[in-house]
């Protein structure tokens, strides 16, 4: 019987944290690659947020500018595993989100990446060619100027052929152009644009999984206890791994920060799943500024182990849950 699977979700800040995200650096990629390669057991899935393709920002100081940022990072990861006498087991998929251009010049790009351990999982399908758009556009004429938010999706199979859907995403910041933004003290996770994106995300997840097990991870720019977090857990039916295992309490959203900006500490990153995924532990997950990943990005990785529980027959799903899915699909 297959053992537990291990997942890492990490906002890597374009591998440029040492220069405040202004440019990708080889040292930044090397440091993150070595920290990931040192994880034991080896992860089965690594989900990255804030990964570029190729641009002026990502190519500064690069000896081979024709490479994408992900290709360059995978070379560093391969070297890092080699330092441990191991073969790097991952295949990488890139999900393009947005490109900022000045004429024909690409200033910088945004996107997501997913690394799959082919020794333990098989990729059945993915949407890398056309990631799902979840951006909320309050003003239609600003559509081309607003940073696109997407959701990466893979359908995987484990050693026994059991399905697992994986979703990787990065929600917008709360927009200051909405009246509601100034009406509340808390900002992150309280933006109406963020809630709309969370609704679109949940609808997409339930449409694609149709009752099969899933994991949703990423940078949600929303702390525990915020309207976005509450919607995903209470209405969309997602299970928060950190809450389930007692690592966080939504009533204390600042107690376990996953990101930092100057002296500000925030919990913005999450691991969610369907109830058919049982979380075992979060070994390797540290609050901001602690552990082997400290100083490598303005976020900390969330690292969890889980097992896929035997599925109940499809017809056994409750009428209440079925109604909930139908309502989400119409959002």
Give DSSP secondary structure letters for 156-167: EE-TT--EEEEE
What's the confidence (pLDDT) of residue 318?
39
Local confidence pLDDT in tens for the 331 residues of the chain: 678 999 999 999 989 876 655 556 789 999 999 999 999 999 999 999 999 875 444 555 555 556 788 999 999 999 999 999 999 999 999 999 866 555 555 555 789 999 999 999 999 999 999 999 999 876 544 554 557 899 999 999 999 999 999 999 999 999 765 556 555 667 899 999 999 999 999 999 999 999 999 999 999 999 999 999 999 999 999 999 999 999 999 999 999 999 998 889 999 999 999 999 999 999 999 999 999 999 999 999 999 999 998 765 543 443 444 455 455 544 4
Contact 166, 112 (CB under 8 A): no
Q: What is the C-alpha separation between 250 and 273, in angstroms, rounded?
A: 17
What's the confidence (pLDDT) of residue 185?
66
SS3 7: strand
Adjacent-strand bridge partners of 156: 123, 164
What's the confidence (pLDDT) of residue 329?
44
Q: What is the C-alpha separation between 11 and 15, in angstroms, rounded?
A: 9
What's the confidence (pLDDT) of residue 60?
55
């Amino acid at each position: 019987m297959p053992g537990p699977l291990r997942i890492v979700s990490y906002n890597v800040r374009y591998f440029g944290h040492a220069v405040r995200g202004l440019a990708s650096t080889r040292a930044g990629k090397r440091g993150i690659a070595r920290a990931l390669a040192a994880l034991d057991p080896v992860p089965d899935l690594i989900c990255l947020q804030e990964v570029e393709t190729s641009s002026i920002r990502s190519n500064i100081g690069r000896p081979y500018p024709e490479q994408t940022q992900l290709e360059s990072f995978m070379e560093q990861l391969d070297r890092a595993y080699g330092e441990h006498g191991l073969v790097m087991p991952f295949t990488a998929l890139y999900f393009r989100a947005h490109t900022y251009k000045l004429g024909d010049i690409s200033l910088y790009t945004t996107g997501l990446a997913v690394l799959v351990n082919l020794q333990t999982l098989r990729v059945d399908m993915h949407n890398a060619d056309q990631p799902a758009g979840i951006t909320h556009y309050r003003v239609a004429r600003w559509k081309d100027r607003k940073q696109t938010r997407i959701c990466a999706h893979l359908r995987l199979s484990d050693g026994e052929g059991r399905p697992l859907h994986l979703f990787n995403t990065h929600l917008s910041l709360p927009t200051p152009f909405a009246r509601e933004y100034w009406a509340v003290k808390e900002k992150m996770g309280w933006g109406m644009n963020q809630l709309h994106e969370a609704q679109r995300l949940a609808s997409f997840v339930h449409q694609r999984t149709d009752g099969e097990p899933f994991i949703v991870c990423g940078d949600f720019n929303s702390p525990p206890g915020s309207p976005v977090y509450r919607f995903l857990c209470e209405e969309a039916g997602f299970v928060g791994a950190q809450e389930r295992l007692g690592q966080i309490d939504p009533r204390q959203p600042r107690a376990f920060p996953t990101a930092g900006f100057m002296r500000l500490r925030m919990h913005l990153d999450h691991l969610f799943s369907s109830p058919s995924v049982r979380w075992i532990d979060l070994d390797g997950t540290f609050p901001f500024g602690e552990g082997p990943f400290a100083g490598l990005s303005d976020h900390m990785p969330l690292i969890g182990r889980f097992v896929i529980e035997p599925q109940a027959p499809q017809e056994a799903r409750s009428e209440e849950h079925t109604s909930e899915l139908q309502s989400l699909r119409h959002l």
